């Protein structure tokens, strides 16, 4: 109820009439929507991964690409969304393939910056699967930038996190990048990494 009251106040502050017909149930709907979009705070990653680790004798690269994700930028509470690509090279264990999009969701359904989201996914796989290497690349559109018309050329951002073999071996890294065939070209990726920012926070 407290959140619904806050939303009603927000609507009034925006110059709206929270009592008009179209907005009457909006506080309830917004509360429910935000509850879902931030449900990652209450998810237990251990439970998500429960019984999903298998011992194998396999050490080729495992890739799950084009995982759709939707998150909220913590600077503006506006969506950023796109594709996530994950790869790892097993040492002794693999993780059930369906669990990787679940891991992405757990961290995406929070207030985020794209860089941290990318790192959290990579770190979780590193820490639970203990692979020879793990790589995560995320490509996203940030509505806080494209809708507001700022930095249009950078509203599409690419971030990456590489550990182990993907960090140490240029060949392994290139093999992964070739397999996921980014929609963007090289220079954009370098720019995004150099800028180190997936959205402009200061306005
Ligand atoms: Zn933002």
The three-class DSSP label of residue 192 is: helix
For residue 29, how far is its CA from the centre of ligand 1 (angstroms)?
23
Tracing tokens 């060949």 back to the chain, one arrives at: 171
114 belongs to the catalytic site: yes
Q: Which of 84, 115, 142, 157 is catalytic?
A: 142
Residue 202, judged by CB atoms within 10 A of its CB (0-12, 13-18, 19+), counts as: exposed
pLDDT band at 156 (very low <50, low <70, confident <90, very high): confident
In tens, the pLDDT along 100-118 reads 999 999 999 999 999 999 9
76 tagged catalytic: yes
The predicted-structure confidence for 14-73, as pLDDT tens digits, reads as follows 999 999 999 999 999 999 999 999 999 999 998 998 889 999 888 899 999 999 999 999
Q: Of residues 73, 84, 157, 199, which has the active-site annotation?
A: 73
Pick the catalytic residue: 84, 144, 157, 199?
Answer: 144
């Amino acid at each position: 109820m407290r959140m619904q009251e806050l939303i009603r106040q927000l609507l009034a502050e925006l110059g709206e009439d929270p009592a008009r017909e179209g907005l009457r149930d909006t506080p309830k709907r917004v509360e429910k929507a935000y509850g879902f979009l931030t449900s990652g705070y209450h998810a237990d990653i251990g439970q998500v991964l429960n019984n999903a680790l298998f011992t194998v004798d396999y050490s080729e690269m495992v890739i799950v690409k084009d995982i759709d994700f939707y998150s909220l930028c913590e600077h503006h509470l506006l969506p950023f969304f796109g594709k996530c690509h994950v790869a790892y090279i097993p040492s002794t264990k693999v993780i059930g393939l369906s669990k990787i999009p679940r891991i992405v969701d757990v961290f995406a359904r929070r207030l985020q910056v794209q860089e941290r989201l990318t790192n959290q996914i990579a770190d979780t796989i590193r820490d639970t699967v203990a692979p020879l290497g793990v790589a995560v690349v995320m490509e996203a559109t940030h509505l806080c930038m494209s809708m507001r018309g700022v930095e249009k050329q950078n509203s599409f951002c690419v971030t990456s996190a590489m550990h182990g073999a993907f960090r140490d071996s240029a060949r392994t890294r290139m093999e992964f990048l070739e397999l996921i065939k980014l929609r963007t070209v090289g220079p954009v990726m370098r720019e995004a990494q150099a800028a180190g920012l997936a959205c402009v926070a200061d306005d």
